[in-house]
Amino acid sequence: MAPDLSENSLFEVLEPVSQHLPLVFNSPHSGRRYPQGFVEQSRLDALSLRRSEDHYVDELFAAAPELGAPLLCAHFPRAFLDVNREPYELDPRMFDGSLPPYANVSSMRVAGGLGTVPRVVAENMEIYQRRLPVSEALDRVENIYKPYHSCLRALVVRTHVAFGFAVLVDCHSMPGNIRVSGSGERPDFIIGDRYGTSASAELSRTAMELLEELGFSVVRNKPYAGGFITEHYGRPARGLHALQIEVNRGLYVNETTLQKKPEFAFVQSNITAFLTSFCEYVEKFSADRALAAE
C-alpha cells in the first residue's frame, strides 16, 4: 500500500544511455503501488486486489534499456486504472451521477467489468464497497490515463522520427491456466498483432520463432490478439508496428501467493536472450527497409 499517487510516482521511463534501436517497450499492467484511499474503498484484501497485475513483467523485460530501447513502466495498479482501454470505457453501474455522452458504456470489456476503471479483478471479484462519484473516474482519466498515453505517444513518435520506423512491444502476463480454444494447448507465450493489422507478419513470425528456439511453446493471437494499445499504436503502412507479448505467469510466479518462483531468474534470462535476438533482428529489418526505400 502506498500514499495516494502523486504525479511523479505514476509511471517511469527507463531510458537507454543512447537509443540506437527503433523499439519502444511498454509495461502498462505491472504497477504495484496501491493508493491507500483506493484500498480503503475496496471490499477486497490486499492480496486479492493484486490478482489483475501483470506480476513483475517490468522486471522480466528490464534488459530493454541496456540493449538500447526505452521501457515505460506504470506504477499505478491495473485494478485502479487500465490504460489498455479506450479512455472512457466506463460502466454506469459503478458510478453515482451521469457519465458524459462520449463514454463507451457498452463495450464487451465494460460488460465483463474490465473497463478503464475496472469493476472486478481476476476471478470476477468485485472491487468496490459502494458506487464511486463520476468525477473520480474522470479525474483518473485526466490525471493518469492521459499523461501516460502522452508519454507513450511521445516515445513512439520520437523513435519513428529518429529511425523512420518504430516497433512498440506491449508487455503483459496471462494466467497459467489459459488454454487455446480447440487444441487445449497451454502456451508459454502469446504474440498478438491484432490478426496482422498492427504489425508486419514477418515481425510476429520472427518473435515466435525466437521464443520457440529457446524451448517455449508459442501461439499467435489466440486467445489474446492485443488490446487498445496494440490496436491504437500499430500502423504498419506508416512504419509503426505494435506487438503484444503475453508471458504465462505460471512459469515464474506462484499464482496463489503471488511470490516469485525459483524459476523466475531462468525465465527472465531467457526473455533477455529473446530480446537481444529480437532487437538485432528489428535493427536489421529497419535497415533493410531504409535501403529498399532509397
What is the domain-level CATH number for residue 174? 3.40.630.40
**142: amino acid identity, one letter:** E
CA neighbor of 76 nearest in space, from 132, 122, 141, 16: 141
The answer to whether residue 275 is domain-embedded is yes
Q: Rounded to two decimals, what is the model's pTM?
A: 0.95
The answer to whether residue 122 is domain-embedded is no
Q: Are 82 and 289 in contact (CB under 8 A)?
A: no
Q: Are 199 and 234 in contact (CB under 8 A)?
A: yes
**119: amino acid identity, one letter:** R
The answer to whether residue 69 is domain-embedded is yes
The answer to whether residue 104 is domain-embedded is no
The answer to whether residue 132 is domain-embedded is no
Beta 95-96 vs 218-220: how paired, if at all? unpaired
The number of C-alpha atoms within 13 Å of 141 and in the hemisphere containing its C-beta is 18
The answer to whether residue 136 is domain-embedded is no
pLDDT in tens, the chain (294 residues): 555 676 668 999 999 999 999 999 999 999 999 999 999 999 999 999 999 999 999 999 999 999 999 999 999 999 999 999 999 999 999 999 999 999 999 999 999 999 999 999 987 899 999 999 999 999 999 999 999 999 999 999 999 999 999 999 999 999 999 988 777 789 999 999 999 999 999 999 999 999 999 999 999 999 999 999 999 999 999 999 999 999 999 999 999 999 999 999 999 999 999 999 999 999 988 877 666 555
Residue 173, domain extent: 7-80+142-293
Q: What per-residue confidence (pLDDT) applies to 116?
A: 98
Q: Are 72 and 186 in contact (CB under 8 A)?
A: no
**28: amino acid identity, one letter:** P
Cis peptide bond prior to 22, omega within 30° of 0: no
The answer to whether residue 48 is domain-embedded is yes
User: Total structural domains in the chain?
Assistant: 1
Distance of CA 146 to the CA centre of its chain: 16
The answer to whether residue 38 is domain-embedded is yes
